[in-house]
Amino acid sequence: MPALGSSDGIIIDRPRFATSACVEPVAEHLTRNADELICAENDHSPYWYRVLTGAARCCTHLNDGRRRVIDFLIPGDMFRVYALPVHRIRLEAVVTPTLVHRYRRLELEQIARFDRAVAREMREEAPRAIERLQAHTVMLGHSSAIERVAAFLLEFSRRSRPQPEDTLVLPMSRSDVADYLGIAVESVSRALTHLRRDGIIDLEGPKRVRIKSRPALEQLAVQVLDA
């Protein structure tokens, strides 16, 4: 399968098929354009999802029109709906096209009996989700907008596959980032400009960020100390 490119020639992702050989037969292929719904169940869902190309956001919509982006999913990430009495979680595509595999839980468990790799992935899905959520929580605890944006860049860089020259491709819009960080779109923009003016990053188009000084970025996004 060839690399997929967005309209401006940026190579966003190549599919990752960590467990493809075994789960392929039971995988339902979903292709979505940006902002289209991938999954909106609100009760315990029998499906598991895996983002293959593109990106997705896990979010809720508040009744005053605001939106909370709880998590971004990039190729390789898995997703499922947990029993959630409080919030209605949705999964939406962020870029066009976004390819997602959908598996039935029971079929996945069936395969996991024989395939240790699949079993391991199922076992690790929840811990990974928790890891992302905890990191996000720490990020949201950061008081200033610049700290949040800096932490976001580092976190996304860590999760993304390495790109040449410490360049980072943000598949989502500023508005997505804003709702993820809990600040206004303009604040995201200002923070990025601020970082650029300080020579910490370069902006090569709205979606490409080159990290010029990782140490400076890390200093802004106050990292965790060992106790």
Q: How far is the CB of 90 from DNA (least distance, A)?
A: 18
Read out DSSP for 134-162?
Answer: HHHHHHHH--SHHHHHHHHHHHHHHHSPP
Residue ranges that bind DNA, judged by CB under 7 A: 7-8, 143-146, 173-175, 182-190, 192-193, 203, 205-207
For a copy of itself, the binding residues in 159-178 under the rule CB under 8 A are none
Considering only residues 16, 68, 174, 210, which one is a binding residue for a copy of itself as defined by CB under 8 A? 68
> Which of residues 11 and 126 has its CB atom nearest to a copy of itself in the complex?
126
Q: Is 88 in the site for a copy of itself (CB under 8 A)?
A: yes
Scan for tokens 């949201």, then name that residue.
Answer: 140
Contact (Cβ atoms closer than 8 angstroms) between residue 111 and residue 26: yes
Per CB under 8 A, 113 contacts a copy of itself: no
Per CB under 8 A, the segment of 78-86, 103-111, 114-122, 160-168 that binds a copy of itself is 78-86
CA distance 152 to 168: 11
- Cα–Cα distance measured from residue 26 to residue 110, given in angstroms and rounded to the nearest whole number: 11
Query: In the complex with a copy of itself, which residue's Cβ is closer, 29 or 123?
Result: 123
Taking the complex as a whole, the smallest distance from the CB of residue 46 to DNA amounts, in Å, to: 33
Give the Cβ contact number of residue 69 at 10 Å. 21
Q: How far is the CB of 59 from a copy of itself (least distance, A)?
A: 9
Distance separating alpha carbons of residues 37 and 178, to the nearest angstrom: 20
**CA gap 58, 72 in Å, rounded:** 6
For a copy of itself, the binding residue among 3, 21, 106, 130 (CB under 8 A) is 130
